[in-house]
Amino acid sequence: MKMQGNTLLITGGGSGIGRGLAEAFHALGNKVVIAGRRQQVLNETTAANPGMTSLMLDIEDAASIRAFAQQVATEYPELNVLVNNAGIMKVEDLQHPPANLDVAEQTIAINLLGPIRLTAALMPLLRKQPQSTIMTVSSGLAFVPIAPTPTYCATKAAIHSYTQSLRFQLRSTTTDVLELIPPYVATELMNGGTSDPRAMPLDQFIAEVMTILKTQPEATEICVDNVKRLRFAGASGHYDAVFQGLNQAMAGLH
């Protein structure tokens, strides 16, 4: 994707990886629109970045997404980059169903159905542009899951598969399809994540991602070095060892 001259929409852009990407692209002179359902967080981010704008979006609700897409088409007809970033990650106790089902269903609605619905709703607008990009944020846990957050990991595995199919179907068009695959990054996605020494600092992650985007324009999967052990665990023949080590390390997650 090109790094300048874009109008970007970033879901979940008020915090964490979404905010980091929003600020990095904003600093390059792009027009950046962040979306989410926490107005205060959106306001704090736009106030800190003059010129950045925001829209409210309930990514969990199909009707909200349809109305949102119409609003975007009206207010930002030049939109050419969609970053599907919004997501939740919650611990589930699979030994005591059905108490965990509400969490599972919400996670699927936000992490999987949300990006699918929003991509479909904005596809006509994106396809009108001379060049456009759809970037979806998955996770290293799409490739090696951690047991305490099974539905989160499953949705990320599903969105990886969906992204591959989307890329193949759009291969002869002017719309590029990218997948950003983060490692464990120091954000609020997990309880205590911002202060966990095992997590990659957010600023370092964003800096490496932007470098990859600038220097490897042909890349379809954006993998920083810290996530490659998970992304390629199967291909390297070390999946079982990586799975066991990762889950032992995260055994205390709650």
Cβ pair 233, 143 in contact under 8 A: yes
Q: What's the rounded Cα separation, in Å, for the pair 174 and 197?
A: 41
Cβ pair 65, 73 in contact under 8 A: no
Q: Is 239 a catalytic residue?
A: no
Q: What's the rounded Cα separation, in Å, for the pair 156 and 143?
A: 8
Q: What's the rounded Cα separation, in Å, for the pair 225 and 223?
A: 6
Contacts of 17 (CB under 8 A, 6+ apart): 85, 137, 182, 185, 187, 202, 205, 206
Q: What's the rounded Cα separation, in Å, for the pair 113 and 119?
A: 10
CA distances from 252 to 58, 105, 146, 148, 246 (A): 31, 24, 11, 9, 11
* Catalytic, out of 76, 152, 162, 239: 152
> Whose CA is closest to 9, among 64, 60, 56?
56
Q: How much is the CA Rg of the chain, to the nearest whole Å?
A: 18
Q: What's the rounded Cα separation, in Å, for the pair 208 and 206?
A: 5
Residues serving a catalytic function are 152
